[in-house]
Chain A
Amino acid sequence: MQKTRLSNPNLRWANSRQVNIGTDIGLFNNSLSFVADYFIKNTERMLLTVTPPSTAGVSNDTWKNAGKARDRGIELGLNYSGSSGKAFQYSVGATLTKVTNKLLELDEGRNVLPNGVNVRSTLTPIRTEVGQPLYSYYVVRTNGIFQTQEEINNYKGKDGNLIQPNAKPGDLRFVDKNGDGIISNDDREFAGSAYPDFTYGITFNASYKGFDFNLFAQGVQGNKLFNALKYTNMNASVGTNFNMLHDILDAWSPENTGSNIPRISAQDANGNYGTTSDWYIENGSYLRIKNVTLGYTLPATLTKRAGLNTLRIYLTANNLYTITGYKGFDPEVGMDEFGIDKGRYPQARSFLFGLNVNF
């Protein structure tokens, strides 16, 4: 029996204040409609678990009203329905959402909200700091790959010592941001987050005689993902004998100097993989055709003869196609690990064939 959590008698509910300014416009007999909404949401007394100092001796964090954050965003929607009254009817819609998030304040003079997010206890890319979006990436910057030993020997600090003495040609060059002559956690800087610049969706509906067609596509732009799969599966020094991804065949070698993948090394003395750097960060933007459905409702005359009210057959494809530059399995990694992709199982493309029958 032990005390695992400090109580907080001053705990209160968080408070959110949101201001919305919007407009709904309908034109041309409401066949064209436009919706725009701008909002500012301030959350005060955010309920966060805060780790007390170890001397408190409890293993769980304390609930506190720990901070203030602001979300600001704009939502736009556009919809056009065409050819009403005609045999061929269609409507097109598009939505766009842009939200930015910023941590304004943490209580008790704190600047950083610590977190335990890590990849195999080695990479720790996430940092929540006042003035930045929550859960941003905080990493060492890289600047290409050393091509020759001469480049390594020329990469010196102010005191004339090599900044990366363990590097060999083919290793990553890290940026010594604070100029202290060594590469360490003090050289880290903020490098974006998994929050997108904007998300958008496109819908298209059409019907003609008995056919109906529906298409929904969804996209995300400007989010950054941390491709942690590289750490376990492109890293010869991970020490666990996992299978390597195919990409490793393109690693840097004297015959393949154009690659941006560092050389294969079982020791990784330079810390190509062991350093939490922006080499892991990739653009996670994508456009995905989520859903396409084509259906056909048999004419009423035919179905009534069979004793049915309506009969509709349809073919649906889910996740039909994705346009993305992301090298991992699936850019829809989700926010539960703040955009860190540890090889999340990708979504499947599926085809469904179906029948709707009304008796």
Chain B
Amino acid sequence: MKTIIRNTILAATSAAMLSACNKKLDIVPEGSPTTGNFWVTEKDAIAGANTMYDQFDDENFYGRGYWWFINASDDQITGRVKAEGDNIKDFNRNFIGGSYTESQWKLRYIVIKRANDVILHVPSIDMDASLKSRIMGEAYFLSGLMYFQLGYTYGGVPIVDRDNLLNDKPIPRADNVNIVYQYVEEELKQAAALLPYFDQLAPADYGRPHKTAAWAFLSKMFLYKKDYASAEKYADSVILSGKHQLLDNFSDVFTIANNWSKEYIWSALSTSKGPSGWGSILPGVMLENKGWGKYNGWGYFMPTKELYDAFEAGDLRREATILKPGDHFTFFGEDMTYSSLNSLSGYQYRKYMEPFSYPGAVHLSPNGDHPTTDLSVPLLRYAEVILIKAEAKLMQGKNADAEINMIRHRAGLANVTNANMDELKKQRRCELAGEWADRHSDLVRWGDAKDTYAKPLHGADGREVWPARTFNPAVHNVWPVPQSEIDNSGGVIKQNTGW
């Protein structure tokens, strides 16, 4: 009997204690949030939006990684021996699966995912309306920009459906690049509607997207899509906004003081501050290998004689773009005469050398393995918008002398009349050499790549530094999909034919 009573009391007490597991123990977890408890406050919105830019510090984003593709053009050579880089320039598929360009998809889809998260979650957050609108605009802009870059690089790419997220299920590629461009158009138009103008941003927010940047990329996308009327229309939106103009001196464009000048539309925001700097390492990548003992230059992407000879006599841009043996320039506060121990072409790009001209390394990242500077490297600037308008007009059979002469005038050249596409191509090349405007993509879309690459490239002393290459327009007009994408999707993602 006693046992029964004792057991019953024991059981009852246990039951009572168990039911005391009440809500007091349900506390909000601290530490890293999970999707269950984020996207609630304005602070969450700002944090979630700022993280969209995080990947732009990766050395393969606006540093060297994508530049391996741009390097394929006839403006420069790899600059030093690098088997994988050389394979990329030669369209030799051996580089697939190496690590230099493998991350290009992943980096961009990370940005897209973060932009999608903002677009999905921020509308329901209770916060200041104009800040919300700006943040949404940033997300649409970055989403559109990423898909644009993926599109012209690879062709049809998977488009993540925001209304039907598949998480880790692989998404098949879009059938062709025009579907991607269509999506880019929708995203950038939304962005343009929501974003403020650049002069409405606070200085602390410089580097965030703004309205004319969205229009500028719309015009570039339509140019690539060969929808010349729309390209001209959006280029005009930028031009007629009155917010931009060309700087008087070409070399002034690439100075730290002019990071946010009237010519600025969109740049890779960079800084030297912090233990490793942040942003684009391209200036350090293009600097002479080992920087004559003063800074850890990487020594890649050295210009060719073909580029040097492309400039007309008297073109002020030539000396501002290229350093040749014997040229004088200021390096670390001192006058130096250019000669190279390491450049395989004998030249070096001068365009991004301004941060290195100051005494001491005041504008340079303290970490030579991540050589950013205070110069925000231009990705799309006003001069290119003018050239986009000129090309769009010419391709519609209209006269583009006004636009072309704006560019020529700033370069110190005389006006031309009845400029044709050859003149346009020359101006695009000379104005945008060594920039993210990407001459290789230009040659591909003009159909000129095969003939241009069939000629060898030469160095400063006239010797051949790169042999003639075979370019197959049916295959090499796009770059191959990274091997890891094919593997990780279990074969759902297919490689571009011929690669």
- Seen from chain A, the residues whose Cβ lies within 8 Å of a Cβ on chain B are 1-3, 6-7, 50-59, 62, 108-110, 112, 114, 116, 118, 121-122, 124, 183-185, 237-239, 266-268, 271, 273-275
Contact = CB atoms under 8 A, between A and B. Distances in A.
A54 B106 contact: yes
Nearest to A108: B490
A62 B168 contact: yes
Given A58-B110, A185-B97, 4 more contacts: A2-B54, A7-B34, A57-B114, A271-B83
A112 B82 contact: no
B236 interface: no
A109 B485 CA distance: 15
A50 B166 CA distance: 16
Q: Ordered nearest first, which 8 A-B pairs have the shortest CB separation?
A: A57-B113, A274-B83, A1-B47, A2-B51, A52-B168, A54-B109, A121-B99, A53-B170
Contacts of B492: 53
14 contacts: A1-B47, A52-B167, A53-B169, A53-B493, A54-B109, A55-B113, A56-B168, A57-B116, A110-B487, A121-B84, A121-B100, A122-B98, A184-B92, A271-B94
Nearest to B159: A55
A56 B113 contact: yes
Nearest to A186: B93
A58 B38 CA distance: 16
Contacts of B238: none
B80 interface: yes
A58 B117 CA distance: 12
Given A2-B114, A109-B490, A114 B484 contact: yes
Nearest to A237: B81
B35 interface: yes
A57 B484 CA distance: 14
Contacts of B94: 183-185, 271, 275
B163 to A, nearest CB: 15
Contacts of B84: 121-122, 274
A183 B92 CA distance: 10
B485 A53 contact: yes
Nearest to A7: B34
B99 A124 contact: yes
A55 B488 CA distance: 10
B368 interface: no
B489 interface: yes
A55 B97 contact: no
A275 B484 CA distance: 19
A276 to B, nearest CB: 9
Nearest to A236: B81
A57 B160 contact: yes
B171 interface: yes
Interface string B139-171: 000000000000000000010100000111111
Give the residue among A3, A57, A183, A238 with the most B Cβ atoms within 10 A. Answer: A57
B227 interface: no
Contacts of B99: 116, 118, 121, 124
A59 to B, nearest CB: 6
Contacts of B44: 1
Size range of the chain B interface in the assembly: 35 or more
Contacts of B487: 110, 112, 114
Contact of A53 (B38, B47, B48, B489): B489
Contact of A3 (B113, B168, B483): B113
A109 B487 CA distance: 11
Contacts of B289: 239
Nearest to B487: A114
Interface in B462-499: 483-485, 487-490, 492-493
Given A1-B38, A108-B490, A56 B81 contact: no
A94 B160 CA distance: 61
A111 to B, nearest CB: 9
Contact of B171 (A51, A55, A184, A268): A55
A268 B81 CA distance: 8
B168 A124 contact: no
Contact of A54 (B38, B92, B488): B488
Given A122-B83, A185-B94, A52 B488 contact: yes
Contacts of A56: 109, 113, 167-168
A221 B324 CA distance: 57
A112 B92 CA distance: 23
A116 B108 CA distance: 18
A239 B79 CA distance: 10
Given A121-B98, A122-B98, A239-B81, A55 B33 contact: no
B54 A268 contact: no
Contacts of A239: 80-82, 289
B352 interface: no
Contacts of B47: 1
Contacts of B160: 55, 57
Give the residue among B99, B100, B116, B160 with the most A Cβ atoms within 10 A. Answer: B99
A106 to B, nearest CB: 10
B106 A124 contact: no
Contact of B490 (A55, A110, A237): A110
B485 A54 contact: yes
Give the residue among A50, A59, A116 with the most B Cβ atoms within 10 A. Answer: A59
Given A53-B168, A54-B488, A3 B98 contact: no
Give the residue among B54, B94, B99 with the most A Cβ atoms within 10 A. Answer: B94
B80 A3 contact: no
Given A1-B33, A54-B485, A184 B83 contact: no
Nearest to A272: B83
Interface in B73-105: 80-84, 92-94, 96-100, 105
A239 B483 CA distance: 26
A6 B54 CA distance: 18
Nearest to B52: A2
B81 A266 contact: yes
A108 to B, nearest CB: 6
Contact of A57 (B33, B112, B485): B112
A130 to B, nearest CB: 13
B91 to A, nearest CB: 12
